[in-house]
Amino acid sequence: MQKLAKVLADIGFLNQTDYMIKFQKYMELILEWNEKVNLTSITDKEEFEIKHFVDSIAICSLPQINKAKKIIDVGTGAGFPGIPLAILYPEKKFLLMDSLNKRLKIIDEISREIGLTNVTFYHARAEALAQKHEYREQFDLCVSRAVANLAVLSEYCLPFVKVDGWFAAYKSIVIEDELNTSQEAIKLLGGRLKGNHIINIEGYELNHQILLIKKINNTPSKYPRKAGTPAKEPLK
């Protein structure tokens, strides 16, 4: 995985042997399990390296993750971006949550098999978990590659973030209309869009950016609304 190794070196991860062993094993196990359970549509190893690993760790060049101690990955799917980040930051605590328990159990098993000890998993919908006192506004950073409108995703994610913490949303490049219609929702939920980071890896068109939303105020207690409502009736 030469491209991943180069990107890691570029962002300062120079002693890579242990990291690369874990990355390689994780990919192999995901693809092995993928023959039984649909975890990812990406089965080519080079494409997997770029679109799952390199894309996930693009945030590592930003100060928001370096300062964070507790990180939550909302809608982690097959463990992205949470598992790659947990591999690189063994000193940080990660919570990976998803609404599909079967998939989450597999990711949990694989993470233990590759030796990760800084990750916990929670099967839940974001709307329910964010209303639990022990998880609400407890995280320095929330990351998500989940496919959802930014207003919807913000209602899922911002309630988990502490005031002065950050929500990093992995989104496509062309989202101008989505951004325009999400500004009031982000503000209502206590956030403020502070900028973006284009994921630009030479030779590869990832078509992704990371939107950086800072938590300015506490999220009103009525948010997130009950399960299913944010997607059906996005905040405006």
Whether residue 72 contacts residue 97, with contact meaning beta carbons closer than 8 Å, is answered with: yes
SS3 call for 133: coil
What's residue 207's pLDDT? 77
What's the CA gap between 59 and 81, in Å, rounded? Answer: 9
The domain made up of 2-232 is a member of CATH 3.40.50.150: yes
CB 188 within 8 A of CB 234: no
Domain boundaries, the chain: 2-232
Residue 184 contacts by C-beta under 8 Å, 6 or more apart in sequence? 235, 236
Stretch (H or E) spanning 230: helix 229-232
Per-10-residue mean pLDDT of the chain, 236 residues long, equals 89 87 98 96 94 94 94 97 97 97 97 97 97 98 94 97 97 88 96 90 75 98 96 93
- Measured in whole angstroms, how far is the alpha carbon of residue 143 from the centre of its chain? 3
